[in-house]
Amino acid sequence: MTHAHIAGSIHADVAKAGPQWLTLPEDLNQLRSELWPAGTERDAQGRIVIGGVALSQVAASHGTPAYLIDEQDFRARARAFRDSFADWRVYYAGKALLSRTVARWVMEEGLCLDVTTMGEMRIALAGGMPAARLGFHGNNKSLEEIRFALEQGVGRIIVDSFHEIDRIEAACQELGATAQVLVRVTTGVEAHTHEYIATAHEDQKFGLSILGGHALAALVRCQSSSSIQLRGIHSHIGSQIFETHGFEVAIRRTLRLAEQFRVATGVELAELDLGGGFGIAYTEADSPMPTAELARAFDEILDHECRAFGLRRPELSIEPGRAICGPAGVALYEVGTVKAVELENGRSRTYVSVDGGMSDNIRPALYAAEYSCALANRTSDADPVLARVVGKHCEGGDILIRDVFLPRDIAPGDLIAVPGSGAYCRSMASNYNQVPKPPLLAASQGQVQTLLRRETLEDLMRLDVGE
C-alpha cells in the first residue's frame, strides 16, 4: 500500500468496527460514481452538485428532507433499457416512483408504464401516457378499477386470480369491451434477494402456480373466454436481483408452460413478460450488470430455450422500476443531533439524527435495506467515524443507514445526501408521527422543478375532519 495515512493507527481501528463488506474509503469526500446520478460532482466549495444544482442550494430553497431526481440521468437509464432491449417492450414500473412529470418522461423516452391501482392509473394518464401503453397489475384489482382501465382502453391487464378473471369478464360484458390479458404465474424461482422482495416462490400472494396447475387452468380459462384476448404469460421473480440465473430458470419454466398450453389447446402464446427486479448499487458491496449486458444475456437465454422447446420466439417485455429511477434519485436531509454511544467492545458508534427517517424511507425497516451517504454541503478533512444515520421517529428501528463512515466533525446543520433513493422511498412514504411527506424535486441543467410539493401541516389538519 502506497497511501500513508497520518492517523494510520486510528484508521485501522475504525476500519475494523464496521461490517465486513464496508471498507474505509481513502477519501471520505470522494463520490463513488456507481452510486450517484451520472455527472454528480463536488463544486469548488465542496458541495455536492447534481443536475447542475448544488444540494445546499436545494436545501436552502426547498427545505429538507427532500427527494431530488436527476432528470437527465432518469431519462438516460430509461433510454438504455429501450435501446438495449430493442425489440422488447419496456414497461417502467410506476410503483417505484411516479408523478405526472415522471410519467411524461417515461412516455417521451418511448417506454410503456405499469400501474397497480386507480391512483397510479390516474397519475399516469394525467402525465399524458396513452392508456394503450399501460399494463395493469395487482393481486386485488377492484371491479371499479378494472372497469376504469377498460373504459380508458388499457393496453393489457396482468391477471392474478380466478376471481379477477370473473371480474374482467363482468366488466367486459357490461362495457362491450375486450380485455388484453397476460396471466401472472409463479415459477417457483426464489431470486437471491431478501425474502420479502422475492416474489416467485410458491408460498406468497402473487400469481398462479405452475406447479399446482393453476397457471395452466387460468390460461385455458382465459383462452375460452369470449371477453378476453389472451396474450401470454407474465413472470416477476423478485427485486434487487444481480444474477441472470433466476431469470433463466423462470424463462425455462414459463416456456414449458407455454408448450403445455400449446399441447392442450393448439394455440401458441404470443407474448412473454419477464417482469423487473434488476438490481442497483446501494453500497459499495453491490455491482449491478450494465443494461446492455443484461439484454444480451436475456436474448441468449431466450434463443436457447425457445429452440429447446421448438417454440417461436414470443413478443417480449420487461418491467424495470428501480433500475431506472433508483440511481437517479437522492434523499437530502439535515443533521439535527450527533451523539456517541459506547459499544461493548470498547468502541463507540456515532448516531447521526436527521430530519426525516422511516416515514420517507421505510426500506431499511421493512427489509433491512442498506444505503450509503455522503456529507453534501462541504468536504471535511476530519478522521472517519463509524456512524449510524437515524431518523426522527419514535421507533428504535428507525435507522436509515446502519453503518457508514462519516467525518468526525459532522455536526448539526450539515447536510447528508443518500444516493440510490429514487425508488421505493418517496413512493412508499407515510405520515407516521404526523410528519408531512417531503417533496419530489427534479434537477436538470442547473434548474430545480417541483414534481410533488412538500406536504404541509395544513394538509394533515385538513384530512382530520373529526370533532
Binding site residues, ligand PLP, CB under 6 A: 93, 95-96, 114, 137, 236, 239, 275-278, 319-323, 423
> Does 425 qualify as catalytic in the annotation?
no
- Which residue number, 184 or 393, has a Cβ lying nearer to ligand PLP? 184
Q: For residues 277 and 384, which CB has a smaller minimum distance to ligand PLP in the complex?
A: 277
Contact 134, 155 (CB under 8 A): yes
Q: Which is nearer to ligand PLP, 71 or 319 (CB)?
A: 319
What secondary structure letter does DSSP report for 394? S
81: nearest Cα among 113, 41, 120? 113
Beta carbon nearer to ligand PLP, 59 or 200 = 200
- The count of residues in the chain is 467
Q: 3-class SS at 139?
A: coil
CB of 61 to ligand PLP, least distance (A): 30
**Nearest approach, Cβ of residue 206 and ligand PLP (Å):** 7
**Structural element, H or E, at residue 184:** strand 179-186
C-alpha cell belonging to residue 42: 463536488
322 labeled binding residue: yes
424 is annotated as contributing to ligand binding: yes
- C-alpha 129/C-alpha 99 separation (Å) is 11
39 annotated binding-site participant:
no
**Distance of closest approach, residue 86 Cβ to ligand PLP, in angstroms:** 19
Which grid coordinates are listed for 9?
493507527
Q: Could you check whether the bond before residue 364 is cis, i.e. omega within 30 degrees of 0? A: no
Tell whether residue 65 is among the known ligand binding residues. Answer: no
- Sequence-distant (6+) residues with CB within 8 A of 145 are 117, 118, 121, 136, 138
Short-list 413, 435, 437, CA closest to 426? 437
Q: Which of 172, 325, 373, 394 is the catalytic position?
A: 394
CB nearer to ligand PLP: give 17 or 323.
323
453 is in an annotated binding site: no
Toward ligand PLP, which CB reaches closer, 102 or 352? Answer: 102
Q: What's the rounded Cα separation, in Å, for the pair 271 and 456?
A: 45
CB of 114 to ligand PLP, least distance (A): 6
Q: Alpha-carbon torsion 439, 328, 28, 403, what sign?
A: positive
Closest separation in Å from C-beta 106 to ligand PLP: 13
Residues 402/351, Cβ–Cβ less than 8 Å: no
User: Is 296 annotated for ligand binding?
Assistant: no
Shortest Å, Cβ 157 to ligand PLP? 12
25 is in an annotated binding site: no
Asked if 359 and 130 count as a contact pair (C-beta separation under 8 A), the reply is no
Q: Cβ–Cβ contacts within 10 Å for residue 45, how many?
A: 11
CA atoms within 13 A on the CB side of 435: 21
Specify the DSSP element, H or E, that contains 416. Answer: strand 415-419
Residues placed in the known binding site for pyridoxal 5'-phosphate = 277, 319-322, 424
* Active site residue ranges: 394
